[in-house]
Structures are given as C-alpha cells and as structure tokens.
C-alpha cells in the first residue's frame, strides 16, 4: 500500500502541498482536474481552499476526492 495523506495546505495557484504518512512532502497540481465535471466547483478558489484530509486522502465539502494513490504517484517532490 502506498503512503496516505496526513496533512495538506491548499494554495492560491490550485496546488496542494501534501505531507504523506511516510513524512514525504510533495505538491499536487490540481489545475489538470478542474475541467472534469465532478471537480468544477474547485474552480472557485474559496471552495478549493476548503480541502481537508479524510481517511488518508483529500476531500472537499461536497465529497469530491482524489485517490490517495494518484496523489502520491502524480505529485511532484519538494
């Protein structure tokens, strides 16, 4: 099993700084998912910044989420 999300910081440029359960820190660029229908609400920066950690991944108030494996594999190392 790949590491899970333990802490996040959503940024104004639609990136999220992520700390994983193995203490690795990476940045995930969400701009590539903003046009996908389920993620359309994330285009509102105020909504985007409401991201939180739940069950080892990132979720938003209306239950949009991103697979933690996708986050780990696609995020760039800091």
Q: What pLDDT digit, counting tens, does each position of 25-70 carry?
A: 999 999 999 999 999 999 999 999 999 999 999 999 999 999 999 9
- ∠ at Cα 31 (28, 35), nearest 5°? 135
Average pLDDT over residues 1-8: 96
Domain locations along the chain: 5-77
Q: Tell me the pTM.
A: 0.94
Whether the predicted pLDDT of 4 surpasses 90: yes
pLDDT given for residue 1 in this prediction: 84
Q: What is the arithmetic mean of pLDDT over 16-21? A: 99
Asked if the 5-77 domain carries CATH number 3.30.2020.10, the reply is yes
């Amino acid at each position: 099993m790949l590491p899970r999300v333990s802490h996040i910081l959503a940024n104004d440029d639609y990136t999220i700084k992520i700390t994983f359960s193995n203490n690795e820190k990476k940045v995930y660029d969400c701009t590539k998912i903003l046009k996908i229908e389920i993620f359309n609400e994330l285009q509102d920066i105020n909504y985007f910044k409401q991201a939180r950690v739940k069950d080892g991944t990132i979720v938003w108030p209306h239950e949009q989420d991103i697979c933690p494996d996708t986050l780990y594999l696609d995020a760039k190392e800091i």
